[in-house]
Structure formats: structure tokens, C-alpha cells
């Protein structure tokens, strides 16, 4: 990844009001974070050798809502979610529709490139978790399926 691509990621963060961004591809990992009132800071490193254990929440911390049931199709990138190829076209998938690994489920626009996202799983869509035309973050649930 070159400096031009990193600057484009920072511009995308600022455009969509994101405070953090993380991406890993082909052994290259980049994490960008922005503090209030500051420009994004950048770190990058090779992928970790072992997974990092989650830190338990303090006992007096408010309880988080339980995650929705079912498996998720996560966003592979930061960008803008589109459920159909154009505003006039029907959605790629709907609740109750069966999908296979090769089924295109949506488009994510990132850095002015329209990326077709495939399900990469087989199952039945139970929920469309992202809103059409809205920003999504890396790892955010786009769809839930069973």
C-alpha cells in the first residue's frame, strides 16, 4: 500500500465521520484512529502471531445488549452500502432468500470504486442489518443468515 492509498483511506474516514479504521490484506495490516479535534493517526504492522484475548468488562460497567441471533455476513471494508446495483433496480437479496457462496449480496463503494460483495456462505437471509446508502465499517454486520 502506498502513501496515496493511505491518504485516500484517511479522506474516506473524514468524509464518512469514522473515528477508526482497520484493514488486513496479504499480510499487511493498517489501523487508523482519530481523536476528537485531531487528524487520523496511522499504525501498521505484520499480523499478530496469536489472537489477543479479550479484556473482560469491569463488574460495574453497563450491560451491553445481546447480539442478534444467527450468523453474520460482515463488511470486508469501509465504505457506503448499496443493496441494489442502481436506485431503480431491486435489491440483490431479500429476507427469506437462499444464498450460496457465489451470490452477490450488495455493493460497497470505497474510494469511488463499486465492489460487489459475495455471501461467501450458504444459507437463508434472516435480516438486512445495514441501511441502503449509509456508511459501513470493516467487520460490521451487513446481513444475518441461518
Count how many domains the chain has: 2
Whether 131 and 86 share a structural domain: yes
Asked if pLDDT for residue 102 goes beyond 80, the answer is yes
Read off the pLDDT of each residue in 90-102 and give the average, rounded to a whole number. Answer: 93
Angle at 20 between CA 18 and CA 26, to 5 degrees: 120
CB count within 10 Å of CB 22 equals 14
Which pLDDT score is estimated for 30?
78
Instruction: Identify the DSSP state of 46.
Output: P
Whether 133 and 90 share a structural domain: yes
pTM: 0.54
Find the domain containing 83 and state its range.
Answer: 71-145
Residue 111 lies in a domain: yes
* Phi, psi for residue 6 in degrees, rounded to 5: -65, -45
Residue 60 lies in a domain: no
Residue 58 lies in a domain: no
pLDDT in tens, 126-144: 999 999 999 999 999 999 9
More confident residue, 136 or 36: 136
Q: How far is CA 31 from CA 28, 95, 136, 142, in A?
A: 10, 33, 16, 21
Amino acid at each position: 500500500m502506498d502513501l496515496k492509498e493511505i491518504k485516500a483511506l484517511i479522506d474516506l474516514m473524514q468524509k464518512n465521520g469514522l473515528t477508526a479504521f482497520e484493514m488486513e490484506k496479504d499480510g499487511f495490516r493498517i489501523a487508523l484512529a482519530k481523536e476528537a479535534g485531531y487528524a487520523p493517526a496511522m499504525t501498521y504492522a505484520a499480523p499478530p502471531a496469536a489472537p489477543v484475548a479479550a479484556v473482560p468488562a469491569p463488574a460495574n460497567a453497563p450491560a451491553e445488549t445481546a447480539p442478534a441471533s444467527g450468523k453474520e455476513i460482515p463488511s470486508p471494508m469501509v465504505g457506503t452500502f448499496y443493496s441494489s446495483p442502481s436506485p431503480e433496480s431491486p435489491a440483490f437479496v431479500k429476507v427469506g432468500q437462499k444464498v450460496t457462496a457465489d451470490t452477490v449480496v450488495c455493493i460497497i463503494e470505497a474510494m469511488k470504486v463499486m465492489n460487489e460483495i459475495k455471501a461467501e456462505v450458504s444459507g437463508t437471509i434472516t435480516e438486512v442489518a445495514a441501511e441502503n446508502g449509509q456508511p459501513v465499517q470493516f467487520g460490521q454486520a451487513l446481513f444475518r443468515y441461518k
